[in-house]
Copies of this chain bind each other. A is one copy, B any other.
Amino acid sequence: MVKHLALRIALVLLALGQLKPDARAADQSAPAASNVPGAPTPTLSPDRSISFTLRAPDARTVQVAGGDGLGAGPFPMTKDAEGMWRVTTPPAVPGFHYYWFVLDGVSVNDPSSETYFGYGRETSGVEVPEAGAEYYALTNVPHGELRAKWYLSKTTGEWRRAFVYTPPGYDGNPKTRYPVLILQHGAGENETGWTRQGRAQFILDNLVAAGKAKPMIVVMDCGYATRPGMPAVTFGPDTPLSDALLAFSTFEDVIIHDLIPAIDASYRTIADREHRAMAGLSMGGMETLFITLRHRDTFAYIASLSGPIVPNLNSNQSLGSVRPSDFDSKTAYEGAFANPAEFNRRVKLLWLGVGTAEPELFRAGIGAAAKALKTAGVQLVYFESHDTAHEWQTWRRDLNDLVPRLFR
């Protein structure tokens, strides 16, 4: 206890005095914005190379591993005489990258980093600035609020937490009503992803301040849901897509029967299809297409960000075995696109995006679907994020392109 007390007191004083580490003026590197306050590493150099450290005098091997944008790791670290392991990686792709140390074979977080929910667990992350990209920065403009909203789900029988972004001026204009964007994270992530990793609230603030987007409410829920007593299904990479989509149907009920009514009851929404959008990234994009194309009476704006395309909802194919050429605009998504004129009249926006550095499964499938739909006469926006991978910088750019197109 005395040791803990001394540690706590030391921490008070250290935190008070040393929140701002000395600037590394000599080599122009600086601690990453994603570090915990006061942590000197990781540091970013102007060329976007990243230096990592970990004190582990007794370790035999330490590596840095992480998201695609970090480069072709893992990167072996080397130990100095004081037991500090170090490595400087090659210049990284701009944006947010998950990372972790592999310490004698065990994946562990960097104590110097904030944590971000990804890969089904809390994970370290490093923010690599993109030159000239201010659109996701915390700038001197009016800011909305980010609200944690608890609501009871009849579908799951449990309280759920959604995050709700209300735009600048929401409280000050009590007669104004707003359109709603439901915005979903990817696999292994949760309802915190779009604001912690994606900085969605700042992208919205900046777009609204610049007059580029309509003020709107953004709702971010957790994309997993199970019914009470639902038997645990043992899925694997080879599981038929139809089984995965059966699981999505629980989330569909949460969105349609629980979340939307709770939001419309709690916030000053414009509660009709012309003022309701849904978008999601990766798994969230799959969920968005699955749910919105079944509920075109509920949503007029639809966006899938790097979301794998499912040619046949009822097939026994696995996701990995889908071929882009399987996509048939007449039959895909239960025939939602079979009558392009009707679709174009009802759906105000269909938006599909992908990063050019994403794996073939994403690029080829999304590109083929976009091409087939256009050929069939379905109006859509197809957006490519250049040189970014299946990572958050792609989805930040996506959101920055998408939001100005909503509710026009």
Chain A residues engaging chain B, CB cutoff 8 angstroms = 1-2, 4-22, 36-39, 54-60, 67-68, 103-109, 111-115, 117, 119-122, 138, 140, 143, 145-150, 152, 159, 171, 174, 186-188, 190, 201, 224, 226, 230, 232-237, 239, 244, 247-248, 266-267, 282-283, 319-320, 359, 361, 389-390
Which of A38, A186, A235, A282 counts the most chain B CB atoms within 10 A? A235
- Please state if A390 and B4 are interface contacts (CB–CB under 8 Å): yes
Report the Cα distance A233→B143, complex, angstroms.
33
Cross-chain contact B121 with A187 (CB below 8 angstroms): no
Write the nearest CB–CB distance from A366 to chain B, whole angstroms.
14
Q: Which residue, A120, A226, A232, has most C-beta atoms of chain B within 10 A?
A: A120
- Which residue of chain B has its CB nearest to the CB of A140? B152
Q: How many copies does the complex hold?
A: 2
Q: Give chain B residues whose Cβ lies under 8 Å from the Cβ of A320.
A: 6, 9
Q: Are B15 and A188 in contact (CB under 8 A)?
A: yes
Which residues of B are found within 8 Å of A14, using beta-carbon distances?
120, 235
CB atoms of B104 and A15 under 8 A apart: no
Chain B residues, Cβ within 8 Å of A55? 106
A224 interface neighbour in B16, B109, B120, B237, Cβ under 8 Å: B16
Distance A244 CA – B38 CA, assembled complex (angstroms): 17
Contacts of A248 in B (CB 8 A): 16
Q: Known interface pairs A16-B224, A36-B122. Does A5 touch B359 (Cβ–Cβ under 8 Å)?
A: yes
A397 to chain B minimum Cβ distance, whole angstroms, is 19
